[in-house]
Amino acid sequence: MTVPQPDRPDFVDKRVLIVDDFDGMRNILRDLLRKVGARQIDVAANGNEALTALTRNKYDVVLCDYYLGAGKSGQQVLEEARAKSLIGASTVFCIISAEKTSDMVMGAVEHQPDDYLIKPLTEAMLQTRLAKLVKRKTIMATIQAALRAKEYLKAIALCEKQLAEDRGGSGDLVRLRCELLILTGNYEAARTAYEKQLAVRDTAWAKAGLAKLHFQEGEYHHARSLLQQLVEDNRAYLEGYDWLAKTLIQLGEWQEAETVLIRATTLSPLSAPRQQSLGEAAWQCNDLEVAEQAFRKSISLSAHSALKTPQPYLGLANVCSRKGNSKEALEILGRLTKEVEGEMVKIQAKAAEVRVHRAADDNTQAQRCAEELSVQVQKGTHDMPPAATLDLAEALMQLDNKEVASKLIQFVARNHHEDEALLKRARDIFERAEMGEAGNQALESSRRLAIDYMDKGVRLARQGKLGDGIEVMREACGQMPNNARVLLNHAYLLISHMEKQGWHHAMFNEARRCIETARKHTLDDKRCGLLLAKLETIK
């Protein structure tokens, strides 16, 4: 039997960007692309040149080497280009590497390129794989456009349509569909799809998917045993380690989480978020050396990244402070405000500074910082994690700034009125400050505030006064901007209103904002997803 050559791809009208720090390799790639018909080829020698080129021109294909010498890596070029919307849904972005690494197989889906091409690149590879990617991209473009517009149900429907047409090799679409089903709270359908996949083939991502479902449903013991088996069978499957560590943390097993993350960072030392997780786990275990190294690595790995976060700086400052090196801790906080942008970052750095001064018994400096802070933190717009807010409150109590400290604690209690662990810590802080009685009253009234608002809102809605109910809940959201239950109830009322009165632009956006904020603060991801899906069905 003779087999026809695959269709000759048409690269004639495609604009291609080659990014490689090695000039010999750039020339080889350019020659290869010319052989398969490409005419418009640009080259860049490093990450910054690549980003400049991407700003100036629209490319159909980007071939970017993973290692670009000093400066940004290929992965960071991709992340920054996506974050700044320099590449659209129809651009095929391939990362070229001399070898396959764990990061490539694992990486979070949203940060993955369209494909990894392993050297040596050949004409045939460009003709088959790259051409297929270009073709596939036109299909994926509609799905990605839906994702960007946050039309998740539509994206799911598009995946299903394409899956019905595909003859095979659509593992990526099956996977994407499952993730979108989870995002929209449809756990049953996601579970069915994962199990269907596992019936065909023992696949790591499908097993990890089932474990994630257990995690989301709060079945941490189930999730743990599934993930332990998964990493045992697939020693280099990083996503398995990440979820296992997350699960262990939920179970309070920090020591084991640290061990798992050490194993994962050994396999893949170049991921800034994973080093940050290790630092956090080691800090919790009071393993200061490991924590310090991990935080330092996380900072240096994200030096050229567009996705920098303040966490490793704050973590490292904590470590230095506890080791008695407050001078370095303060230097790091200074670096934080210079290297990571944003008002919230400045506030968080200042709050950490209070704690560093406090730990060094420099109360004058601590007071000074606390005063600079007090206006902003009382407004509750500091975006600090609740545990960090309580840390700050405790430091302020010790400085005898009881008024601001109480306000901070009440802010936490209002926003997390169902979190028993946080409330207990809050009570302990009041007690240590010898404010036990007043503290209990303050906590109780904070807790009541959330409950009263919700009762009132629901009552009004039941009486058919949906508009008034929404007014009440809107006010509640203003006072409790991070209270997931309040936010979700408000979103629910807004959706109910639109179901009766029709789609309303401002309400629609308000509901989505509420759900998205709540999602960051709650473990009940399913309800967020279901509301998001419900919201999308209103048109």
Partner 1 sequence: MGLPTTGLDIATFLGASIHDMKNSINVMQALLEDALSGLHTHCQCPATKKLDQVQYETRRVSDNLVQLLALYKIEREMYPFDLQEQDVGDFVHEAIARVSALAQFRGVTLSYDYPQDLYWYFEYELVLGSVVQAMHNALRYTRDQVRLVATVTDGRLEFRVEDNGSGYPESMLCDLPAPQRIRFATGSTGLGLYFSSVVAQLHKNRDRQGETRLENGSSLGGGTFILALP
Residue 161 makes contact with partner 1 by CB under 8 A: no
Closest distance to partner 1 from the beta carbon of 335 (Å): 22
Task: Measure the CA dihedral 424/429/433/439, to 10°.
Answer: -50
Closest distance to partner 1 from the beta carbon of 85 (Å): 29
**Residue environment code for 236-269, b if the CB has 16+ CB neighbours within 10 A, otherwise e:** bbbbbbbbbbbbbbeeebbebbbebbbbbbebbe
Nearer to partner 1 among residue 170 and residue 496 (C-beta): 170
Judged by CB under 8 A, the residue of 45, 89, 157, 236 near partner 1 is 236
Judged by CB under 8 A, the residue of 101, 250, 309, 374 near partner 1 is 101
Closest distance to partner 1 from the beta carbon of 229 (Å): 15
Separation of alpha carbons 443 and 423, rounded Å: 8
Judged by CB under 8 A, the residue of 144, 250, 284, 293 near partner 1 is 293
Name the strand (E) or helix (H) holding 95.
strand 92-97
- Residue 21, CA atoms < 13 Å, CB-side half-sphere: 13
Separation of alpha carbons 463 and 416, rounded Å: 28
- Residues of this chain, 414-473, that bind partner 1 according to CB under 8 A: none
Separation of alpha carbons 78 and 47, rounded Å: 9
Residue 195 makes contact with partner 1 by CB under 8 A: no
Closest distance to partner 1 from the beta carbon of 239 (Å): 11
| Beta-carbon contacts of residue 426 (< 8 Å; ≥ 6 apart) | 390, 409, 412, 413, 439, 443
Residue 250 makes contact with partner 1 by CB under 8 A: no
Name the strand (E) or helix (H) holding 229.
helix 220-233
Judged by CB under 8 A, the residue of 7, 39, 58, 98 near partner 1 is 98
Judged by CB under 8 A, the residue of 15, 25, 219, 344 near partner 1 is 25
Tell me which long-range contacts 200-205 makes (C-beta under 8 A, separation of at least 24): 203/171, 204/230, 204/233, 204/234, 204/237, 204/239, 204/240, 205/171, 205/175, 205/239
Residue 168 makes contact with partner 1 by CB under 8 A: yes
Judged by CB under 8 A, the residue of 123, 331, 343, 444 near partner 1 is 123
DSSP state of 130: I
Contact of 18 with 28, CB cutoff 8 Å: no
Nearer to partner 1 among residue 3 and residue 506 (C-beta): 3
Residue 265 makes contact with partner 1 by CB under 8 A: yes
- Residue 171, CA atoms < 13 Å, CB-side half-sphere: 11
Angstrom CA distances, 211 to 221, 472, 523, stand at: 10, 39, 15
Give me the sheet containing 115-118, strands edge to edge: 40-44, 15-19, 61-65, 92-97, 115-118
Maximum pairwise Cα distance, the chain: 89
Residue 286 makes contact with partner 1 by CB under 8 A: no
Closest distance to partner 1 from the beta carbon of 293 (Å): 5
CB atoms within 10 A of CB 418: 13
Residue 237 makes contact with partner 1 by CB under 8 A: yes
Phi, psi for 63 (deg, rounded to 5)? -110, 110
Residue 241 makes contact with partner 1 by CB under 8 A: no
Residue 125 makes contact with partner 1 by CB under 8 A: yes
Phi, psi for 41 (deg, rounded to 5)? -125, 125
Residue 300 makes contact with partner 1 by CB under 8 A: no
- Number of residues interacting with partner 1: please give it, by CB under 8 A: 51
- Residues of this chain, 128-157, that bind partner 1 according to CB under 8 A: 128-129, 132
What's the gap between Cα 322 and its chain centre?
28
Nearer to partner 1 among residue 5 and residue 537 (C-beta): 5
DSSP state of 202: -
Residue 234 makes contact with partner 1 by CB under 8 A: yes
Nearer to partner 1 among residue 234 and residue 517 (C-beta): 234
Residue 318 makes contact with partner 1 by CB under 8 A: no
Residue 367 makes contact with partner 1 by CB under 8 A: no
Closest distance to partner 1 from the beta carbon of 262 (Å): 7
Phi, psi for 40 (deg, rounded to 5)? -100, 95
Give the per-residue contact string, 202-221, with partner 1 (x = CB under 8 A; - = no): xxx-----------------
Closest distance to partner 1 from the beta carbon of 289 (Å): 7
Residue 289 makes contact with partner 1 by CB under 8 A: yes
Closest distance to partner 1 from the beta carbon of 20 (Å): 11
Q: Which residues pair with 30 in a beta bridge?
A: none
Residue 112 makes contact with partner 1 by CB under 8 A: no
Contact of 11 with 40, CB cutoff 8 Å: no
Residue 102 makes contact with partner 1 by CB under 8 A: yes
Closest distance to partner 1 from the beta carbon of 209 (Å): 15
Residue 374 makes contact with partner 1 by CB under 8 A: no
Judged by CB under 8 A, the residue of 127, 277, 311, 483 near partner 1 is 127
Closest distance to partner 1 from the beta carbon of 235 (Å): 4
Sign of CA dihedral 100, 202, 186, 178: positive
* Interface residues toward partner 1, by CB under 8 A: 1, 3, 5-6, 22, 24-25, 28, 31, 98-102, 104-106, 118-120, 122-125, 127-129, 132, 167-171, 201-204, 234-237, 262, 265-267, 269, 287, 289-290, 293-294
